Amino acid sequence: MVTTAPYGSWTSPVDARTVAAHDGRPAFVGVVGDEVWWTEPRPAEGGRRALVRRRPDGTEQTVLPAPWNVRSRVLEYGGLPWAGTVTERGPLIVFCDFADQRLYAFEPDSGREPRPLTPLSVVGEGLRWVDPVLRPELGEVWCVLEEFTGEGPTDVRRVIAAVPLDGSAAGHRQSVRELSDDRHRFVTGPRISPDGDRAAWLAWDHPRMPWDGTLVMLAEVTGKGEFTAVRPVAGDLGPTAPGGGASGESVVQIEWDADGSLLFVSDPGGWWELRRLHPGAQDDGVVTSRGLCPARQEEFGGPLWNVGERWFLPLENGTLAVLHGRGAMTLGILDPVSGDLVDAAGPWTEWTPTLAAHGSRVVGIAGGPDRSYEVVELDTCTGRARAIACRHTDVVDPAYYPRPRHRTFRGPGDRDVHAHIHPPHNPEHSAVDGELPPPYVIWAHGGPTSRAPLVLDLEIAYFTSRGIGVAQVNYGGSTGYGRAYRERLRGQWGVVDVEDCAAVARALAEEGTADPARLAIRGGSAGGWTTAASLTSTDLYACGTISYPVLDLSDWANGGTHDFESRYLESLVGPFAEVPDRYRERSPLHRADRITAPFLLLQGLDDVICPPAQCERFLAEVAGRGVPHAYLAFPGEGHGFRRAETLVRSLEAELALYARTFGFPCDEVPPLELRE
């Protein structure tokens, strides 16, 4: 039977604890011998990331118990935290533990505990490591070293370093060999040529982000494992254009092919595309590259937020496994000679930038509108793809899942705005006769150089199964649609993102899909900024949920965040010295007197990217203005929530906010205590 009830009050089996238990996705897949390894989230274990192995017979094992947490803090967003190989004693794994950021060596079949390879440091935030490459023939692991030189967040240097596998550097910083110099602010881990004689890596400098402009660096490697003849061979750190624009070339991944050529993903034509070059000797002059799929206007790469991400890999038969597409990225096999590209069959429509290969097998992580992210294996000989781990299971009846569709809306200036629309859906409920269209929540993703994927998300189902629609907006500045689309935010952060979200909300209201009086907006990080900026610059939304946001641009531009994004605002807003008024005018902190809609503010107290001090200052400005609001701060949480209890509390508080604002009954969650 179908029960009529007000939108928002529909009963649903998708409760907050179910959502929290299945939050997050597997990441950083790799192959060790004949085994597949990856990390996966454990919300119930303090939000740690566990390291898991899958043996050839299909059995799985969590190789490190709690509280081991395989996660790097390099650039604060981390990256590839582990590497593995097989020795005569079995697998040898080197990983970074989140608690102390030391590298550890671990032989899981030995029965011994992990042993530290790197020392602790009492300076600033210490020593951190990411994107390791094992060099057992040299008795070392090569990786990125991030070393703090003072107490400030920008007192830091980064180099490629060699760490002895025998543990001799565990108490001695001087035993770590530095392979590259620190002339560039940011570097990725090295990629070693098949003959071992060359190493390549990416480098870039402030004020650019890696999607603005990077260099491909090349070095000769001596028999002693030292770098010589270091020089750039591709990429372009072009001059900064007026107003914070850029003309650089963004290389986001490099790999060596079997013939000694260098494969990389770059965007000289406005789309991240695959290219190949044959680097010669140092005195060969200009090195040219050629595109492998120049006619396809789609992305073969993405924003390098996590060091060590992979959008392609060369295979032993000469083909390439590639992730590509407009918006959604799918896995395909590319013949680099003919240009033929064949996509993997199956229900997976979104692949994340992590790939591994072993023989004819390609392993990645993928999901789709009706399934969560899984570890998927493609046999390139047979064309068969199958989920081999983290398999999707329907923890509730899939009849309660949302029924999303992708749509393209028109924003100001008739520009395209991409969005995923998730209407309310519950097989046991319908709206009360005569009730207006349903309430809708606009979701603004983080980044802002990111993208909302169209993958089953129980957090979305939590709302849609209760009668609240969700619209995920890939506003201008999002990746997946070419460089021109992602550069719409240059100098326009707080304008274009706000306008695009509003354009989707208004369109849904005008066509009768959403109730114009019951529109909300929510987002975290950069999405929290867009939410706060929307609430302080428009009267479109009835309420909003702001999570770990940027609220004061001037503070961010003057030492109020971490090093990686400390100069990001020069492109998003403009150079502070040139447009200081713009920083103040757009900041929600300085527009607090304009906010009239109720809001919920969620913040991790250990967040160093968007520190809680901004939230506290914002709340002080709002206090006494008669605006209902609530502030929930969570000890032990950083930038983004990982612990089950935090996820439950924040999700239930958000539903309580909507119940109070939209006026529907809601007895399943504690009422939200608002102050004014």
Closest by alpha carbon to 36, among 493, 386, 354, 356? 356
Residue 53: Cβ within 10 Å count: 20
Q: Distance between the two ends of the chain, CA-based, in angstroms?
A: 42
The predicted structure's pLDDT at residue 433: 87
Strands (E), 111-211: 115-116, 127-135, 140-148, 156-164, 177-178, 186-187, 191-192, 198-204
pLDDT in tens, 243-277: 334 458 999 999 999 999 999 999 999 999 999 99
pTM: 0.95
What pLDDT, on a 0 to 100 scale, did the predictor assign at position 293?
80
What is the structure's pLDDT at 247? Answer: 57
**Angstrom distance (rounded) from CA 83 to CA 81:** 7
Write out the two tokens for 81: 């935290």
How far are the Cα atoms of 139, 450, 500, 626 from residue 354, in angstroms, in the given order?
27, 16, 30, 48
| Cβ atoms 369, 335 nearer than 8 A | no
The stretches in the chain having pLDDT less than 50 are 240-246, 283
Q: What tens digit of pLDDT does each residue of 147-180 get?
A: 999 999 999 999 999 999 999 999 999 999 999 9
pLDDT score, position 123: 92
Token pair of 34 as six digits = 């004949």
Strand partners, 378: 362, 385
Q: Please say whether the dihedral angle defined by the alpha carbons of residues 189, 254, 213 and 325, taken in this order, is positive or negative.
A: negative
Residue 246's pLDDT is what? 47
Rounded Cα distance between 185 and 188, Å, is 11
pLDDT of residue 111: 87
CA distance 328 to 343: 13
pLDDT at residue 590 in the model: 96
Three-state SS at 535 = helix
Q: Which pLDDT does position 281 carry in this prediction?
A: 53
- Residue 404: both structure tokens together: 């999303």
Residue 413's SS3 state is helix
Distances (CA, A) of 423 to 274, 308, 438: 37, 36, 9
Q: Which domains does the chain have, with CATH numbers?
A: 396-662 (3.40.50.1820)
